[in-house]
A and B are shown apart, each in its own frame.
Chain A
Amino acid sequence: MKRRIRDAILSMAIAAGFGLGVTAAHAEPEGTFKYAEQVKLITMDPQQQSGSGVPYLRPVYESLFERGTDGKPVPLLATGYEVDGLDVTIKLREGVSFSNGEAFNAEVAAANINRGVELAIVEGLKTVDGAEAVDEFTLRIKLKEPDPAIIDSLCHTGGMMLAPAAIADPALDRNPIGTGPYVYNKDESREGEVRVYTPNPTYWDKDKIGLARYEVWELPDDTARLNALKTGQIDAGNWLANPQSAIIDRTPGLKLVRGTGGLNYHVIISDREGTVVPAFADLNVRKAMAHAIDREAFGKAVQFGLAEKSFQPYGKGDWAYDPALEGIYEFDLDKAREFMARSEFSDGFTFDMPSIPIYQSRLEALAGFFNEIGITMNIVPQEPGTLARVSRTTNYPATNLVWATNTDPKFLALRYIYEDAAYNPFKAKPSEDLLNLAKEGLESVDTAIRAPIYQEMAARLAEEAFLIFVTNTPILIGVSEATANNPSVVYRFGEDSINLRGLKAND
Chain B
Amino acid sequence: MLRLILQRLLALVPLLFIVSVLTFSFTSLLPSDPVDLILGDTGTEEQHEMLRERLGLNQPVHVRYMQWFGRAVQGDLGTSFFNSVSVMGAVMQRLPVTLSLTAVSAIIAIVVGVAAGIAAALRPRSWIDRFATLGATFGQAVPNFWFGLILAAIFAVNLRWFPATGFTPISDSPWDWLRSVILPSIALGTSSSAAIARQVRSAMVGVLQQDYIRAARAQGLSARRIVLKHALTNAMVPVVAVLSFQITVLLGGALVVEQVFAINGLGTLAIGAVRQQDIPMIQGLVLVMVALVVVVQLATDVIYGLLNPKARPS
Q: Is the CB of B83 within 8 A of A383?
A: no
Q: Is the CB of B156 within 8 A of A227?
A: yes
Q: Is the CB of B85 within 8 A of A223?
A: no
> Contact mask B62-105 → A, CB, 8 Å, 1/0?
00000000000000000000111100011001100000000000
Chain B's nearest CB lies how many Å from the CB of A146?
Answer: 19
Contacts of A252 in B (CB 8 A): none
Cβ-based interface call for A433 (8 A):
no
Q: Is the CB of A221 within 8 A of B262?
A: yes
The answer for the CA separation of A422 and B37 in the assembled complex, in Å, is 16
Q: Is the CB of A386 within 8 A of B163?
A: no
The answer for the CA separation of A292 and B44 in the assembled complex, in Å, is 36
Cβ-based interface call for A258 (8 A):
no
Cβ-based interface call for B31 (8 A):
yes
Given A43-B82, A121-B43, A227-B164, CB of A385 within 8 Å of CB of B262:
no
Given A42-B82, A191-B93, A233-B165, CB of A50 within 8 Å of CB of B39:
yes
Contacts of B260 in A (CB 8 A): 221, 223-224
Task: Choose one: A172, A217, A231; the contact of B157 (CB below 8 Å).
Answer: A231
Contacts of A217 in B (CB 8 A): 166, 262
Contacts of A231 in B (CB 8 A): 156-157, 160, 163-164
The answer for the CA separation of A43 and B152 in the assembled complex, in Å, is 31
Chain B's nearest CB lies how many Å from the CB of A462?
Answer: 24
Q: Is the CB of A227 within 8 A of B165?
A: yes
A-B contact count (CB 8 A): 116
Q: Is the CB of B32 within 8 A of A40?
A: no
> Contact mask A421-438 → B, CB, 8 Å, 1/0?
010000000000000000
Cβ-based interface call for A21 (8 A):
no
Q: Is the CB of B31 within 8 A of A223?
A: no
The answer for the CA separation of A190 and B259 in the assembled complex, in Å, is 16
Q: Is the CB of A171 within 8 A of B259?
A: no
The answer for the CA separation of A312 and B140 in the assembled complex, in Å, is 51
Given A190-B264, A227-B152, CB of A383 within 8 Å of CB of B30:
yes
Binds A, one of B9-17, B106-114, B115-123, B268-276: B268-276
Q: Is the CB of A224 within 8 A of B32?
A: no
> Contact mask A202-239 → B, CB, 8 Å, 1/0?
00000000000000011111011101101101000000
Given A227-B152, A230-B164, A388-B36, CB of A191 within 8 Å of CB of B85:
yes
Given A40-B272, A388-B36, CB of A233 within 8 Å of CB of B166:
yes
Q: Is the interface of B mostly helix, strand, loop or mixed?
A: helix
The answer for the CA separation of A123 and B47 in the assembled complex, in Å, is 13
Contacts of B152 in A (CB 8 A): 223, 227
Q: Is the CB of A230 within 8 A of B36?
A: no
Q: Is the CB of A422 within 8 A of B264?
A: no
Q: Is the CB of B164 within 8 A of A385?
A: no
The answer for the CA separation of A233 and B39 in the assembled complex, in Å, is 33
Given A173-B83, A191-B85, A192-B94, CB of A120 within 8 Å of CB of B47:
yes
Q: Is the CB of B259 within 8 A of A221?
A: yes
Given A126-B42, A191-B90, A231-B160, CB of A389 within 8 Å of CB of B36:
yes
Cβ-based interface call for A335 (8 A):
no
Cβ-based interface call for B313 (8 A):
no
The answer for the CA separation of A348 and B179 in the assembled complex, in Å, is 61
Cβ-based interface call for B41 (8 A):
yes
Chain B interface residue number, banded:
35 or more
**Which residue of A is nearest B268, CB measured?**
A192
Given A42-B83, A192-B94, A221-B259, CB of A50 within 8 Å of CB of B31:
no
The answer for the CA separation of A19 and B196 in the assembled complex, in Å, is 67
Q: Is the CB of A224 within 8 A of B264?
A: no
Given A42-B83, A233-B163, A422-B42, CB of A228 within 8 Å of CB of B264:
no
Cβ-based interface call for A487 (8 A):
no
Contacts of B153 in A (CB 8 A): 227
**Which residue of B is nearest A411, CB measured?**
B42
The answer for the CA separation of A301 and B30 in the assembled complex, in Å, is 33
Given A43-B82, A230-B157, CB of A121 within 8 Å of CB of B259:
no
**Which residue of A is nearest B89, CB measured?**
A191
Q: Is the CB of B166 within 8 A of A193?
A: yes
Residues in B201-219 with C-beta less than 8 Å from chain A: none
Chain A's nearest CB lies how many Å from the CB of B140?
Answer: 24
Chain B's nearest CB lies how many Å from the CB of A234?
Answer: 9
Contacts of A173 in B (CB 8 A): 83-84
The answer for the CA separation of A219 and B94 in the assembled complex, in Å, is 16
The answer for the CA separation of A221 and B256 in the assembled complex, in Å, is 11
Given A173-B83, A192-B90, A224-B261, CB of A50 within 8 Å of CB of B164:
no
The answer for the CA separation of A388 and B86 in the assembled complex, in Å, is 29
Besides the contacts A193-B264, A223-B260, what 14 more A-B pairs have beta carbons closer than 8 Å?
A: A42-B83, A50-B42, A51-B40, A121-B40, A123-B41, A171-B84, A174-B83, A190-B93, A192-B264, A224-B164, A231-B164, A233-B164, A383-B30, A383-B31
Chain B residues proximal to chain A, CB less than 8 Å: 30-33, 36-44, 47, 82-85, 89-90, 93-94, 149, 152-153, 156-157, 160, 163-167, 259-262, 264, 268-269, 272, 275-277
17 contacts between A and B (CB under 8 A): A40-B272, A42-B276, A121-B39, A121-B43, A123-B41, A191-B264, A223-B260, A227-B157, A228-B164, A228-B262, A230-B157, A231-B164, A382-B31, A383-B30, A386-B31, A389-B36, A422-B41
Chain A residues proximal to chain B, CB less than 8 Å: 40, 42-43, 48, 50-51, 120-121, 123, 126, 170-174, 190-193, 217-221, 223-225, 227-228, 230-231, 233, 382-386, 388-389, 422
Closest 7 CB pairs of A and B: A50-B40, A227-B164, A224-B262, A193-B264, A173-B83, A171-B84, A383-B32
